[in-house]
Amino acid sequence: MLSYAAVTTIRFDDIKVGEEFVSPGRTVSETDIVLFAGLSGDYNVLHTDAEHMKSSQFGERIAHGLLGLAISQGLAGRAVADLVELPFAGLSWKFRGPIKIGDTIHVVARVTDKREADQPGWGTVTIERRVLNQRGEVVQEGETRHMVERRVG
């Protein structure tokens, strides 16, 4: 049996399927990429060797895909903290295009489903998320599934 501490105040009954949220934007910087390489230990040349990347299909360093996901989690939290900061049960994610240094991304999140979980007293909520750049291109997208406490009584 999993145990999830109640980290947010939102309850199952408060969540409305179809609700959509748009986050503020954030410009992804070289510093973000350097810090993420240091934290994760992923020093793939894609993210760390500017000279090598000049001759690549991207022409320059690109952000780690998981850095984009991490930043998108922060952005989504600024739009609708109670919802996206619920404990994760699962996620499905696609990286559609590169995030380059200086790109500004934002997140569009929409509640697509909620249902009772197998564990008594808990539900799961599904959130569809799209990460868009300054040209409106979807660079990442997917859905996240979260555990949420059902209202007691």
Partner 1 sequence: MASAAAPGAAPSAERRCYFEDVVLGAPPLETPGLTLTPAHAALFNGLAGVSAGDEPGRVPDLLPLCLSSGLGWRVPQPALAVLAFMGFEWKFHGPLRIGDTIRSRSRTAAKRSMREGGVIFEDREILNQRGEVVQSGRLTLLVAKREAP
Q: What is the contact surface with partner 1 in residues (CB under 8 A)?
A: 2-5, 7, 26, 32, 35-36, 39-46, 52, 64-67, 69-71, 73-75, 77-78, 81, 85, 87-95, 142
Q: Report the residue number, 20 or 49, with the smaller CB distance to partner 1.
A: 49
d(CA 97, CA 58): 10
Q: Are 35 and 66 in contact (CB under 8 A)?
A: no
Nearer to partner 1, 17 or 81 (CB): 81
Minimum CB distance to partner 1 smaller for 44 or for 134? 44
Q: 85-121: buried (b, 16+ CB within 10 Å) or exposed (e) per residue?
A: ebbebeeebebeebbbbebebbbbbbbeebeebeeee
Residue nearer to partner 1 on the CB measure, 18 or 75: 75
For residues 151 and 153, give the distance between their C-alpha atoms in angstroms, rounded to a whole number.
7
- Closest distance to partner 1 from the beta carbon of 51 (Å): 8
The least CB distance from residue 123 to partner 1, in Å, is 16
At 45 the three-state DSSP class reads helix
CB of 40 to partner 1, least distance (A): 4
We find the least distance from the C-beta atom of residue 136 to partner 1, in angstroms, to be 21
Shorter beta-carbon distance to partner 1: residue 37 or 108: 37
- Least separation in angstroms between CB 146 and partner 1: 9
